[in-house]
A and B are shown apart, each in its own frame.
Chain A
Amino acid sequence: MRVAGFVEESIVDGPGVRFVVFAQGCPHQCPGCHNPLTWDLEGGKDATIKEIIRMIKKKRKNIRGITLSGGEPFLQAPEMVLLAQKAREIGLDVVTYTGYTYEELQQLDLPGVQELLDASDILVDGPFLIEQRDISLSFRGSINQRVIDLAGTKATGKLVLIA
C-alpha cells in the first residue's frame, strides 16, 4: 500500500486514542486541505499490510481503534479492508475518512468500496469545503462533513449520524 505516514496515538481522528494510517494519493484536492502532501499518487512511501498490522498490534494496549485517513483511502480500498478486518479481529474498531460523500460511494466504480464500508464502524464523509469551515467541529473541518454510524445505517436503511 502507498502511505503518507502514520500517527501511533491520535486523539483528533476519531473517538478515543487511535492508530491512524494516512493513505497516499487523493483525487479531491480540496482547497485548504490539511495534508496536501498526500495528494500525489507517486508521493509518500510503500508499506506492506503485514508491516502496518505489526505496528498496530504493538499499540494494541494503548488504543481504542484504528483510523483510515489520508489522502483518499477508497483509492486503495481492497488493502484498507485487510487492515480493517485485522483490526476488528483484535478488538479494535475502525473509523474511515473519505472525501467522497456516502451517496457518491454507493455509485463509485472502484474496487472494494462496499467491502470497506462493511469493514468500518464509522465513516467521516465529504470533501473539506473551506467556506463551510468550523473550528468547533469534532474530527472534521467543515459543516458538510458527517460522522456516520455505519452499522446503524445498514440496519435501518437510513443514514444514522453520530455528528
Chain B
Amino acid sequence: MFTQIRKRDDRIVPFNETQITDAIFKAAKAVGGEDRQTAMELTLDVLNLLKQNFQGKVFSVEDVQDAVEKVLIEKGHAKTAKAYILYREKRSRVREARSELMDAVAEILRETSRDNANVGNSPSAKVLQISEVASKNYYLKRAIPEDEAKAHTEGDIYIHDLSWYGKTMTCLQIPLDRLLKEGFSNGHGYIRPPKGIKTAAALAAIILQSNQNDMHGGQSFAYFDRDMAPFVEMEYRRKAKELRETLEKMGLPVDEDKMMAIVKDRTEEEVFQAMEGLTYNLNTMHSRAGAQVPFSSINFGTDTTWGGRMVSKALLLAFEKGLGKGECPIFPNLIFKIKQDINFEPEDPNYDLFQLSLRVACKRLQPNYSFQDASFNAPYRDVEVAYMGCRTRVIANINGEAVSNGRGNLSFTSINLPRLGIRANGDLTSFWQYLDEAINLTIKQLVSRYDVQKRFKVRDFPFLMGQKLYMDSEDLNSTDTVEKAICHGTLSMGFIGLAECLVALTGKHHGQSQEAQSLGLAIVSYIRRRCDEATKKYKLNFTLLATPAEGLSGKFTQYDVERFGVIPGITDKDWYTNSFHIPVEYDITAMDKIALEGPYHKYCNAGHISYIELPSAPDHNLEAFESIIRAMSEADMGYSAVNFPVDVCRECGFNGIIETDTCPKCNTTGRISRVRRITGYLSTLEMFNESKLAEEKNRRIHMRLQ
C-alpha cells in the first residue's frame, strides 16, 4: 500500500510493513504472547489507520509508532501496548543521550575545554577528552546508583573525576627508594637500579610517567632528597675512583684533599644537571589523560646528609634557572618540608636550604611549604607527612601503618555548601539537617565508588600494582582484587564555598564577622566529625578535603544561579570561593587572612592550603617573605603558598611585573607569559577556565593602601 516513510533524520526511505509486525510481535513476546498471526492482523489495522490519517501523504516513524500504540490499546492488547510504549521510551532516551554526547564531542572538536589548566590542544588531547565525555555519560547513566547520579547532575554534590569512575584511583606517594634500589619494569623489560645520579633522576621521571598511566591524579615522591642521596654518594665515589685511577695511570701524585675538592665540585655539577634534566622532563612528557604532562610533586628539604642536601640545593637551583628560555617550570610541584630543628631556625643544619627556597620562591612561586610541626602533623614527625602539589594529604590509617608512602586518595566528592545555605533561608536548624543529608549521601556515594574500585584486579594496573607500589600489594597476584591494598587509601568528602554559605546563613562571610567565623569553624569541624565516625563505621579512611576545585569552581555557581537566581554575595559572581578561604576579592591584610584561615587546616585532614597574594615578588625583601611563612606556621597551617604575578618575556627571559603586552627590557611585544597559581599548582593564564579567570581577575592584593 505505502511505499515511503520519513526517518528521524528526515530521509525518505522505502516503507516495509514487516517491521511493524516485528515490533508488535516482539512486544507481545515480552509479555508472554506467541502468535505472530495476531501481530500480522494488527499490522493491517495499523496500515488502515495510517491510510485514514495521512491519505497518501508521507508519514514518519513517530507517526507509525503512535498508530501502533493506538491500535494495540483499542484492540484490547493492553499488556502488549504497555511493553511497546516502554520500549519506545527507552529507545528515545538512548537516542537523546547519544545526541547529547555527540553535541559534547562536537564542542570538543571545536576547542579544547579549559576544565583542567594542564591540558593542551593536540589531537591526542581531543581524542582523550572525547573518551572522557563518553565515559562520564556512561557511568552516570549505567553504573552509578540513581540517587547519587541525580545529586551530581543537579549540583547538590560533585563526583570528581567521573570519567575515571570504573577505571582507577586518584593519586599516590610513590616509594621511590624501593624502586630505585630494586629496579623495576614498566612493561617492556626490566630496568636495573641506577648507578649514578643522572640515571636515577631520569628513572624518577619515568616512574612518575609510568604510574601516571595507571592513575588519574597526582604522582609524588615523599622523600625525594633522602631517596636520591645514595646515588649522589655513588656518583661521588665513582668520580673519585676515576680521578684517582687517571692520576695513577699518568704517574702523577695524588693530593687527597685537592682531589676530594675537585670530585665534590664535579659531583655537585652532575647533580645540578640531573635536576635540570628532571625538571625539563616533567614539563615536557605528555602522557597523562588528555595528553597532559604527569601531575608531579616532590617533597624535600629535611634530609641533612651531604648527599640529600646536595639534591635539595640542586633541585632549587635548577628550578630557579628555569626552562630553555628561563621560563617558569610548572612541574614538578615543589613542596619544601619545614621542620623544627632541621631547617626553620638559623642554627638548624638545613636553614640555608630554607633561605635558598625563599629566594627561588620569589622568582618561581614555588616551592610551596608544608609544616611538619603543625599540631595535626607533629604526631607523625618521625615519618613526616607528604603532600601533593594540589594539597592532598594522606597520613592517618585505620587499616594499617600511618605513613604517606605507598598510599594516596581513592576518590573524592564535594558538597555544594552555598546551596545548603541558600536552601536554609536563614534557618540554622534546617541548615544542619540539609548538611546531614548531604553528608549521608556523600558517604554513601564514596562507598559505592569504593565498592567498584575494590573489585579491580591487579592486572588492571600493570605498573601501580604489577610493580607493587601500593601499600600491601606485595603479595597480590595478577588475578587478585586490589582491595587488600587500596583499603589503605582515603575516601574524601570535600566542600567549596564556605564563605558564600556563611553569607547565606548570616549575611556576612568569615572575613567580615566573628560570628561568621565561629559558625564556619563549627560547620567544618562538624563535617570532619562525621568523617571520623564514618571511618570507624566502615573501617575505611574517610577524610575531609578542602577541595582544590578547578573544574568545579564555576559549576556549582552556574547551577545555583539557574535555580535560585542572582543572590548578592553568593551567586553574583562566576565562582564560589575555594574551600574555607576568605573571598579573594575581599580587602584583608595578609596576616589577618592567615589568622582566620589557619584554624581550618586541622579539620581538613584530606588536604588544605592557604594563599597570600602579594603585589609583586618579594625578592628584595626575603625577610618579609620569611615573616609571612612564620606567621603561617604560628597559625597552625599545614600547607601554604605565596602568590604574586610572575610575568615572563618569552623572548629575553625578563622576569617581573609586565603590565602591558610589551617587555620593558627587550621591547618585544606579544611574547609575555603570565604564570599564576590555579589550585595549588601553576599554569599560564591562557590555560585557565572561565571561572578561574574571573576569580583571578578579582584577586585582591593583601597589602594595599587603606
A7 in contact with B704 (CB, 8 Å)? yes
A12 in contact with B589 (CB, 8 Å)? no
B620 in contact with A64 (CB, 8 Å)? no
B703 in contact with A7 (CB, 8 Å)? yes
Query: CB-CB < 8 A to B18: which residues of A?
Result: none
> What is the distance, in angstroms, from B157's C-beta to the closest C-beta of chain A?
38
Query: CB-CB < 8 A to B590: which residues of A?
Result: 9, 17
User: Complex: how many Å from CA A11 to CA B627?
Assistant: 10
User: Complex: how many Å from CA A16 to CA B620?
Assistant: 10
> What is the distance, in angstroms, from A58's C-beta to the closest C-beta of chain B?
10
B624 in contact with A15 (CB, 8 Å)? yes
B628 in contact with A17 (CB, 8 Å)? yes
CB interface residues, A 14-32, toward B, < 8 Å? 15-18, 22
Is A118's CB within 8 Å of the partner chain B?
A: no
Interface string of A130-143 (1 = CB under 8 A from B): 00000101110000
Is A102's CB within 8 Å of the partner chain B?
A: no
A22 in contact with B705 (CB, 8 Å)? yes
Residue from A16, A17, A22, A137 whose CB has the most chain B CB atoms within 10 Å: A17
A11 in contact with B614 (CB, 8 Å)? yes
User: Complex: how many Å from CA A10 to CA B706?
Assistant: 11
Query: CB-CB < 8 A to B589: which residues of A?
Result: 8-9, 62
B703 in contact with A6 (CB, 8 Å)? no
User: Complex: how many Å from CA A59 to CA B594?
Assistant: 13
User: Complex: how many Å from CA A135 to CA B656?
Assistant: 9
Is B702's CB within 8 Å of the partner chain A?
A: yes
Is B621's CB within 8 Å of the partner chain A?
A: yes
- With both beta carbons as reference points, the residue of chain A lying nearest to B664 in the complex is identified as A135
Is A5's CB within 8 Å of the partner chain B?
A: yes
User: Complex: how many Å from CA A137 to CA B619?
Assistant: 10
Query: CB-CB < 8 A to B705: which residues of A?
Result: 5-7, 22
B706 in contact with A9 (CB, 8 Å)? no
CB interface residues, B 539-598, toward A, < 8 Å? 589-591
Is B625's CB within 8 Å of the partner chain A?
A: yes
Is B379's CB within 8 Å of the partner chain A?
A: no
Query: CB-CB < 8 A to B345: which residues of A?
Result: none
**Given A5-B706, A6-B706, A138 contacting B591 (CB threshold 8 A):** no
User: Complex: how many Å from CA A17 to CA B702?
Assistant: 12
User: Complex: how many Å from CA A137 to CA B704?
Assistant: 20
Query: CB-CB < 8 A to B627: which residues of A?
Result: 16-17, 62, 64
A11 in contact with B625 (CB, 8 Å)? yes
- With both beta carbons as reference points, the residue of chain B lying nearest to A163 in the complex is identified as B620
B664 in contact with A9 (CB, 8 Å)? no
A62 in contact with B591 (CB, 8 Å)? yes
Is B623's CB within 8 Å of the partner chain A?
A: yes
> What is the distance, in angstroms, from B614's C-beta to the closest C-beta of chain A?
7
A11 in contact with B703 (CB, 8 Å)? yes
User: Complex: how many Å from CA A138 to CA B622?
Assistant: 11
Residue from A8, A59, A138 whose CB has the most chain B CB atoms within 10 Å: A8
User: Complex: how many Å from CA A6 to CA B706?
Assistant: 5
Is B667's CB within 8 Å of the partner chain A?
A: no
Query: CB-CB < 8 A to A139: which residues of B?
Result: 620
B620 in contact with A17 (CB, 8 Å)? no
Query: CB-CB < 8 A to B618: which residues of A?
Result: 11
Is B426's CB within 8 Å of the partner chain A?
A: no
User: Complex: how many Å from CA A135 to CA B703?
Assistant: 19
Query: CB-CB < 8 A to A12: which residues of B?
Result: 615-616, 620-621, 703
User: Complex: how many Å from CA A9 to CA B701?
Assistant: 11
Residue from B615, B702, B703 whose CB has the most chain A CB atoms within 10 Å: B703
Is B631's CB within 8 Å of the partner chain A?
A: yes
User: Complex: how many Å from CA A7 to CA B615?
Assistant: 13
> What is the distance, in angstroms, from A113's C-beta to the closest C-beta of chain B?
27
> What is the distance, in angstroms, from A111's C-beta to the closest C-beta of chain B?
28
User: Complex: how many Å from CA A10 to CA B702?
Assistant: 9
> What is the distance, in angstroms, from A45's C-beta to the closest C-beta of chain B?
11
> What is the distance, in angstroms, from B169's C-beta to the closest C-beta of chain A?
41
Query: CB-CB < 8 A to A61: which residues of B?
Result: 591
Query: CB-CB < 8 A to A8: which residues of B?
Result: 589, 706
> What is the distance, in angstroms, from A46's C-beta to the closest C-beta of chain B?
15
User: Complex: how many Å from CA A139 to CA B618?
Assistant: 11
> What is the distance, in angstroms, from B637's C-beta to the closest C-beta of chain A?
15
User: Complex: how many Å from CA A138 to CA B656?
Assistant: 13
- With both beta carbons as reference points, the residue of chain B lying nearest to A5 in the complex is identified as B705
15 CB contacts below 8 A, A to B, read: A7-B706, A11-B618, A11-B625, A12-B616, A12-B620, A12-B621, A15-B624, A16-B623, A16-B624, A17-B590, A17-B591, A17-B624, A59-B591, A62-B631, A139-B620
Task: Please name the 7 residue pairs, one residue from A and one from B, whose CB atoms are nearest each other, closest first.
Answer: A138-B620, A11-B624, A62-B591, A16-B623, A9-B589, A17-B624, A11-B621
Extra inter-chain contacts (18) besides given A15-B621, A17-B590, A138-B621, CB under 8 Å = A7-B703, A7-B704, A7-B705, A7-B706, A11-B624, A11-B625, A12-B621, A12-B703, A16-B623, A16-B627, A17-B591, A18-B624, A59-B591, A62-B591, A64-B627, A135-B656, A135-B664, A138-B620
